[in-house]
Amino acid sequence: MRLDIRLPLGLLFLVFGFLLSGFGLVSDKGIYQRSLHVNINLWWGLVLVAFGIAMLALVQRSYRRLSRNESSAESHTKSTSAPE
């Protein structure tokens, strides 16, 4: 894969999570009557932040693995070229 999809995905959820949880902290408590008095913006925002971080961590891990493979497999370079 040329662009790791988890990178934009993680970033998007991180931004959404920060927006929602940040809004949850400052918003008027009255609006949560409809969500059964649960501050759904704050809590769900935090879940989205966690998901975003998990995605970015996976991207980080695969980059590290990729660069390790590249340095160890320098002698047989052909093996990494993608099939058609």
Q: Name the site residues for another protein (rule: CB under 8 A).
A: 1-3, 5, 8-9, 11-13, 15-16, 19-20, 23-24, 27, 31-32, 34-36, 38, 40-41, 44, 48, 51, 82-84
- Cβ proximity to another protein: between 23 and 63 the closer is 23
Residue 17 Cβ vs another protein, minimum distance, rounded to whole Å: 9
- Cβ proximity to another protein: between 74 and 84 the closer is 84
Q: Which of 54, 52, 53, 47 is nearest to 24 (CA)?
A: 47
**5 vs 8, 39, 50, 56, CA distance in Å?**
6, 31, 17, 10
- Cβ proximity to another protein: between 1 and 74 the closer is 1
Q: Which of 4, 2, 21 is nearest to 82 (CA)?
A: 2
Q: SS3 for 43?
A: helix
